[in-house]
Structure 1
Amino acid sequence: MFDLWSFLHQTAAASMAALFVLVLQHIFRDKLSPQWQYAVWMVVVLRLILPVGWLGRSAIADLTGLGEALRTWVELGLDSAWSSPWTPSLPLAGIPIPPAGGLPRSVTDWLFLLYLAGVLLSALWLAAGGLRLRRSLGEAVPVAGARLEAVAALAERFGLSMPRRVVESRAASTPFLVGVVRPVLVLPMGWAPDRKVILHELIHLKQRDVAAGWVTALFRCVHWCNPFLWRIFDRIDNQREQRCDQLVLERLEGEDRRDYGRVLLSMADDGRRRFPGATTMANGGQNIKARIQAITRFKAFPRGMGLVSVCMVVTLTLSLVVGLPVSAADPLPGAVRLLGPVGSLSYALSHRPATVGGALDAYSKGIYAQYHDVQDCYAYQAMTLPQEQLPDLVEEWRQTDRAGWSVLPGTDPRSASYRTGPIFRGLSYDGEGGYWTQMYFFRDEGGPREGTEHSIGYRRHTLHLQRREDGTWTVSPLSVQTGRLASPFEWEQIRLTSYDNLPFPSQEPPVFTWHGEADGVELELWPEAELRV
């Protein structure tokens, strides 16, 4: 995320993914166990990690079009140092990237700077909390004797791993687990081990929940100004505890299950919240009450519902994270048309062609649309024009929009009858990473009546294709008369006349030339063809 708009894209996409997960959890709340309810959040985590547009556009509730239209509308009136109305702002990474070059010049630059400051302060607060937790354990002493043996026996009985160390500290009011690489189980000073509480922490150790807590904490820093995602992170952390409760209850039987609920009930008045660098049974009074209610509904869920959850995760990942590929050949959506020139421009800039074929397709559609739909015409042109020509195009576009023209003024209505084409001939390498080609449209202007002439016209344009740094392609027309870059509507128009008994007495038919050289042999071909309509 390199500017304000890329952050807005990322946080909006993550919010939409989280909203869909919430809806599905509500639908399947009595069908999926807490373990699988928690697993579905993996979709949101992937959406937070992977940048929007990296694999494709979301197939469900894609907000990138609206975000790009808003960026274009705002940035056209600003002179920003870190964002531009002419380049898409999809993020390059799921984390913020400090901008390079230039000082902030606009309100969007300053807002992004404020966002970066918030990320830094949040990260410092998180690091300070971790240091305080470590410092509070400075006086902790190792647990030995019968209490350590009780912890080891419990781990062996249920096939769980032991933490690297087991210590006791006066700073601990309840047992908790801390440390990702070297996990430590911390017990209150002089506390007699309760096997249900210890089992809870050992399961946290097996599930690597300390690391998971740090992941959500880091994303709290990245999305510190999105209150909806903060609520989502709270829900993820709480459902992690419910998942752990479920795994504990599956290992207990009879009265032990009821005792486990009593232990949680005794912590309901504990107002302290869990720190992300540690796991503990006490995670706030309201959350404890929700967990007790879940325990009262405890049941063994059918194994088939686990498969349902896996299918749900895969489907949501394909729809919300992987998405669909973007093509310059896609038609303009109706919502884009409602936004006018700004919406069409933002759509065009985010659908720039990534192949030579896509560039030629979009360019030819822009030429053809000048006689049918002026908004399509400008949109397809914006997909392929070099960036330095876009400001002039937008100004022309605004004047056309204010005049209310549905087609470009001054166009010959007969030109819409160019039904044969576009035909591209002579694609050749320019030696600098680009290509030259010629584009043709043909039209029959006469009738095959006796004594009348046939008139066959065609329009030809010489095009230069160049590759941008982002991998997309531009198309620049070249004027045949001047040899300089031309407007897309400056065509070389030629009319070929003929009579009934002679094919082409007045002019030569179109000649396409191919030229190549290899191993010292130079070859030039001039194939000629008779064109009949």
Structure 2
Amino acid sequence: MDWQWLTLTLNQAFKWTLYNSIEASLLVILILLCQQLGKNHFPIRWHYAVWFLLLWKLAIPWSLDSSISLYNWLPASPWTSMQEAPPPTEPIVLGTGVLNPHDSALQPDIPLANDASFSWISLLSLIWISGVIIFAITMTLSTYRLLSQLKNDAFIQNEAILRVFSQCQKQMGITKSIPLRTSHRMTSPALMGIWRPQIWLPANLLDKLDEHELRHIFLHELAHWKRRDIPVNSIMSALLILNWFNPLLWYAASCMRKDQEMACDALALTYLQETEVPRYGYTMIKMLELYACPKQIRFTAGFSSSKKQVKRRIEMIRHFKKRAYTWTVSGIVVVLALGVFTLTDAKKVLGNEVTFTVPAEGEMRSATDHAGLSIINTLNTPVKAAGSGKVVTAEYDTKTGKGNQVILEHEGGYQTVYSHLEKLEVTAGATVTQGQLIGLLGSSGRSTGPHLAFQVLENGIPVDPMKHLEDVKTQ
């Protein structure tokens, strides 16, 4: 396997994950803000469903560009354009010219702006993938260990209990066979399994609950199955592994699980008579007394929760109306608005894209990483400004061997760099127009022949000049 290709792929995966995680953090803040503002206005179901926007944002790597995307306000991602460049495996052909990575005459022209950042980006990428591997192994082993411990637990055979459970299934319209099991290792009732779901109950629970309380437990766990919460929790756990470095996403996942429990309560309550609703709340309080410190297990859906969460759920039950599990127009509007503004990618407003013209005549050769051009021609060929802007630098570069060099600053965070010039025709601080003479093509600095080394930088990062050269794009 090509080690260079592997390193490049890993770096790009890390950069995308990092920037996507930053965008997702902004979405988390908006969701929490909307939940707080709409606490008494949006239904219980809405508070949980809005988290699916976060799942979509983290799980889907592609989204439409939009000028109204909220992320247009974020600093531009410096690696977006770099991700589009394929790994340098073959020479790039433009017209009749070929730039080979081993061509010593042109090798100095390949942009080295990323060299300084290469080491720390690679280091961070290795730390990230190491964390992903560690978290993946840890979660897999813990899940496997738990399932191994539970596989020999007994199935419930008590006919009275099975009758209550069957009645709950029938009432909720669930026809799938879901076995009931007991375990000394469980600290609260829990539903486990995506394709072969099973409900585990603490071994001593059956002796401490009456028939009505068991019914509440069963309705809650079956609500998890009916709402497909196990697959959702599994997806969220996998996404947390990829974004293990972001504490805000871990907090969001915790809030999502709490809202999930509330939504399950709301669904379970819709199957109870109005007079029975308060008794459901008493069941929760009793569960908290029996299992004060329930252990939350990933890839499962449980019943009990912390005292603070139970207090919140009791408050919801006190004011519960069956419409609390229905959608409202305002809730739908807010979800759609959040989706439009946060599930789209940043895009520059149409008409503000910066384009440039080819700065000099000659044979064009592209660097293998698409981050620069070499334009080969005779000595003293005119070199013109690729776009209007301000001269940032116009001097001989003694540090990198680029010789006489001109750097122009353009609007939109762009810069163009012209290196190995024979002569400079502008000075720093001057303003130039597109097509204005700024120097003569040469071979100054570390160079073995007359040519112009041309770069386009976006926010200080080299990008593919071919995508910004107007006269090339229209050919």
TM-score bracket, normalised by the shorter chain, equals 0.5 to 0.7
Q: CA deviation at 1:209?
A: 0.7
Q: Secondary structure at the match of 1:174?
A: coil
2:304 aligned with 1:290: no
Alpha-carbon distance in 2 for matches of 1:401, 1:150: 88
Give, in whole Å, the separation in 2 of the partners of 1:33 and 1:287. 17
- 1:111 corresponds, among 120, 124, 132, to 124
Contact 1:203 1:247 in 2 (8 A): yes
Residues 411, 278 of structure 1: CA spacing in aligned structure 2 closer, same or farther, 3 A cutoff? closer
Give per-residue Cα distances to partners, 1:58-89, cap 9 Å, x unaligned. Answer: 734426862535x6xxxxxxxxxxxxxx9434
- Please tell me whether the aligned partners of residues 391 and 430 of structure 2 are also in contact (alpha carbons under 8 angstroms): yes
Distance 2:129 2:40 in 1: 41
What's the CA shift string for 1:149-192, capped at 9, x where partnerless? 22112211332344432222232343211000110112233625
Q: Judge conservation of contact 2:71–2:346 (CA < 8 Å) in 1.
A: no
- After TM superposition, give the deviation of residue 116 of structure 1 in Å: 0.8
Are the structure 2 counterparts of residues 91 and 274 from structure 1 closer, same or farther at C-alpha, using a change threshold of 3 Å? farther
For 2:471 and 2:171, the matched residues in 1 are separated by 77
1:59 alignment counterpart: 68
- Whichever residue aligns with residue 127 of structure 1, its letter is T
For the Cα contact (< 8 Å) 2:67–2:349, is it kept in 1? Answer: no
SS at 1:177's partner residue?
A: strand
- State the match for 1:6 in structure 2: 16
Amino acid at match of 1:126: M
Equivalent residue in structure 2 for 1:165, among 179, 183, 186: 179
Taking the TM superposition and a 5 Å limit, the aligned residue runs for 1:395-414 are 403-407=428-432, 411=436
C-alpha change, 1:302 and 1:201, in structure 2 (3 Å) is closer
Question: Structure 2 residue aligned with 1:38, among 28, 48, 63?
Answer: 48
Alignment pair present for 1:229 and 2:249: yes
Is this contact kept in 2: 1:163–1:205, CA < 8 A?
no
Q: 1:382 to 1:294 in 2, by over 3 A?
A: closer
**Do the aligned partners of 1:59 and 1:319 also contact (CA within 8 Å) in 2?**
yes
Partner of 1:488 in structure 2? none
Tell me, what secondary structure is at the counterpart of 2:253?
helix
Given that residues 45 and 327 in structure 2 are in contact (C-alpha distance below 8 angstroms), is that contact kept between their aligned partners in structure 1? no
* TM-score normalised to structure 2 length: 0.64
The Cα shift of 1:238 comes to 0.7
Contact 1:143 1:167 (8 Å CA) reproduced = yes
Task: Assess, with a 3 A threshold, how the Cα gap between structure 1 residues 226 and 324 changes in structure 2: closer, same or farther.
Answer: closer
Q: Which residue of 2 aligns with 1:314?
A: 336
SS in 2 for 1:88: helix
1:256 is displaced (CA, Å) by 2.3
Mapped pair 1:141 → 2:154 = yes
User: Given the superposition, is the C-alpha separation of residues 402 and 316 from structure 1 closer, same or farther in structure 2, using an over 3 Å criterion?
Assistant: farther
Q: Report % sequence identity.
A: 20
Distance 1:298 1:175, change over 3 A: same
1:119–1:221 Cα contact (<8 Å) kept: yes
| Stretches of structure 1 lacking an aligned partner (at least 5 in a row) | 72-85, 93-103, 333-351, 353-365, 413-468, 479-533
Residues 5, 67 of structure 1: 8 Å contact kept: no
When residues 272 and 406 of structure 1 are mapped into structure 2, their CA distance, relative to the original with a 3 A threshold, is farther
Residue 369 (structure 1) aligns with? 388
Higher RCO (CA < 8 A, seq sep 6+):
2
Say if 1:18 and 1:232, in contact at 8 Å, map to a contact too.
yes
Instruction: Name the amino acid aligned to 1:138.
Output: K
Larger radius of gyration: 1
Match of 2:139 in 1: 126
- Per-residue deviation at 1:327? 6.7
Structure 1 residues 277-335: Cα deviation after superposition (integer angstroms, max 9, x where no partner): 21111133332232223323323447985233223222222221134655784257xxx
Q: CA shift at 1:200, angstroms?
A: 0.4
In structure 2, give the amino acid aligned to 1:44: L
**Match status 1:174 vs 2:188:** yes
Instruction: Pick closer, same or farther for the CA change 1:216–1:407 going to 2, 3 Å.
Output: same
Hey, what does 2:263 align to over in structure 1? 243
CA–CA distance in 1 between the matches of 2:125 and 2:326? 47
Match of 1:88 in 2: 82
For 1:252 and 1:90, how far apart are their aligned partners in 2? 56
Cα 1:64–1:115, aligned 2, differ >3 Å: closer, same or farther? farther
Cα distance between partner residues in 2 of 1:298 and 1:8: 41
Tell me the alpha carbon deviations over residues 233-291 of structure 1, each in whole angstroms, 9 at most, x when there is no partner.
11111100010011122222344222211221233352233212211111333322322
Maintained 8 Å contact 2:171/2:271: no
Determine the C-alpha separation between the residues in 2 that align with 1:308 and 1:471: 47
Q: Provide the alpha-carbon RMSD of the alignment.
A: 4.2
Q: Which amino acid aligns with 2:126?
A: L
Alignment gaps of 5+ in structure 2: 1-9, 87-116, 355-370, 372-384, 393-406, 438-462
CA contact (8 A) 1:12 1:63 kept: no
TM-score normalised over the length of structure 1: 0.58
Q: Residue 271 of structure 1 is aligned with which of 293, 304, 307?
A: 293
Instruction: Count the aligned residue pairs.
Output: 356
Flag the 1:470–1:49 CA change in 2: closer, same or farther, 3 A.
farther
Q: Match of 2:270, SS?
A: helix
